[in-house]
Chains A and B, each alone.
Chain A
Amino acid sequence: MKILIVDDEPHLRTLIQQTLEELEDEGVDLITATNGEEALESIQQEQPNLVFLDVMMPKKNGFDVCNTVKNELGLKNVHIVLLTAKGQEFDRHRGQEVGADMYMTKPFDPDALVAKARSVLGLPA
């Protein structure tokens, strides 16, 4: 089982990694990408079960990555959670259009993040 963490901010990646680290003991690999293009490569190569995907990123934003994965590559089974900064109005319509499974705001609730990952990967709560 793999979780891909995509964020151009290294500190945010570290925080999400550290939050999800407890899942490594249960056989989950945490992989990271620093921008949209890198994320697409990683998704095609690694086929992660779950992607935490930042919306505002250089090169290719989260909406575009999600659209490519879900609608162009047809990887419907890759569960994508869009991460958006609190205070920025999230375009729900756009999120639905590109096929995102849900969205969470940053700063994220660490417990909610772990709970979501466990739920998607079928791990006990």
Chain B
Amino acid sequence: MSATTLKALIGPRSGGSAVLSALREHLAPGLCIVDALGRCLLGDASAYSNEPHRTPVLHEDVILGYVIGASSSASAIASLLTHLASRDSENRALASEVLHLYREIHLIEELSEQLAPLLGIGAVARSALDQAKRLITATHGSILVLERDNCPLSIAASFGNSCDDLSSEVSLLGPTSPIVATILQRGTGEIVNECGADPRVQDVDCPMGALICAPLRTGTRIVGVILLGDANRGASYAAADLKLLNTIALQTASAIENSFLCAEMIETARERAAFAAEFQAASSVQQLLLTSASRPTPGFNVESVYLPASEVGGDFFFVAPGDDGSLTAILGDVSGKGLTAAMRVAMILGAIRRENSHGPSDILAGLNNVLMAQGQLGFTTACCVQISRDGSFMLANAGHIAAYVSGREVTSPPSLPLGISEGQSYELVHGQLGLEDRIVLLSDGVLEARSQSGELYGFDRLAPLTRLTAKEIAETARAFGQEDDISVLAISVDVS
């Protein structure tokens, strides 16, 4: 900020020049004003060359100049000029402060524009250091970051030092610097002039004349430190430098925090992609398992449809021929969803394949034992039917939705689902399929299909629906509003 001068106070740009002219005209038109070097600013100095009365114009103990003339008038004019100098000085100080804020605003804008598109921590740190070096004299500099709480500081960018220099235990600008430790502890910036005399660096080989550093702070969290050093002897930093560095640190900290968040988002996206790939693989495996679960069964017409609600489902079915020409079919639903349910389906299908029991009741009891032996895995409902070539059938139900024969429900005694209680038995129900009859096993995804208005498909609609083909039953439920896995098995005796 340039100093207040008499020339400026008297000049036309000065707000007090009109008052001064009027006062001079009234008091002493011939009065003369000279600056501190004796140069005439107003009036005719030669007329006063021998004038002994020179009244000084003082401002903050500095003589700005003199008013030459009769002492009483000169004194009044000098007082006015002193007052104007004081006001001018205040205005200049205020304007200087505003201009400083203008500079700060533009620095913040410039930094924000520079840092906003940068996503990597290294790029952000290099850009911030370049800006700091441009504005603050420094021969050395570094930005150290804390990637996570309790992680050690790492070097994100530096100049004037090699990374090896910074990593050494004796570097003032490296992660182990005692100055850095203080900054992290206090959370405020610091100027260290005469570095060699600082007690914290007694044990450090200190090549720096002066050091200035600021924390990289976002809210209450410190994400790192920015340091600048000047190796020149006698170098020093001022409060204005620290203010500037703090401004840079604030912008840099936000950009580094954004980099952290961006890195986390990328990591999360990668994990999700990997998980989706695994999910897709699980879905393929499950489809394969279910496809292979229907073996050829000569003498019977078997239709099967499986529509999982998501990539992997919790429904399962299995159809196999018996040694006596009969057919055994089981359709079930495990509790829970997603990969856990899918794993249990895979395990159940494996157990069914190994099951040697004859008759639906024994098959369900065997499955119950297997599930109980696996521990707390939720529960599984299932309906199992064995059909002879003559159309007679035996059916057992473990808490599953009832089977239907040509639109009529096959009622069975109530029983617990599988995997809840040991030693359960499942009562057999006997029946007979006529020549035109089909027995339909289905999952509750059909019954519990829900329309957009929230209406359930329900039992009333279900009974006539089971007269249709398996595909038609499943598609009707899906069109109504699928909420769960839909599985349908429709079996009839082939009389052709």
Contacts and interface: CB of A to CB of B under 8 A. Distances in A.
A109 B103 contact: yes
Contacts, number: 33
Interface in B180-196: none
A18 B103 contact: no
B477 to A, nearest CB: 58
A125 interface: no
A96 B374 CA distance: 82
B106 A109 contact: yes
Contact of B98 (A15, A21, A22, A30): A15
A19 B91 contact: no
A108 B101 CA distance: 10
A76 B96 CA distance: 34
A15 B95 CA distance: 6
A110 B91 CA distance: 17
A18 B92 contact: yes
Given A14-B95, A15-B98, A111 B2 contact: no
Contact of A18 (B95, B101, B105, B106): B95
Interface string B82-103: 0000000001100110110111
A21 B95 CA distance: 12
Interface string A9-38: 001001101110110000000101000000
Interface string B12-40: 01000000000000000000000000000
A111 B106 CA distance: 10
Contacts of B105: 107
Given A14-B95, A17-B13, A32-B13, A110 B2 contact: no
A18 B13 contact: no
B13 to A, nearest CB: 7
Contacts of B91: 14
Nearest to B15: A10
Contacts of B13: 17, 30, 32
Nearest to B102: A107
A111 B102 CA distance: 10
Interface in A89-125: 107-112
Interface string B103-129: 101100000000000000000000000
7 tightest A-B CB contacts, nearest first: A109-B106, A107-B102, A18-B95, A110-B99, A21-B2, A15-B95, A14-B95
18 contacts: A14-B91, A15-B99, A18-B2, A18-B95, A18-B96, A22-B2, A32-B13, A107-B101, A107-B102, A107-B106, A108-B102, A109-B102, A109-B103, A109-B106, A110-B99, A110-B102, A111-B106, A112-B106
Interface of B: 1-2, 13, 91-92, 95-96, 98-99, 101-103, 105-106
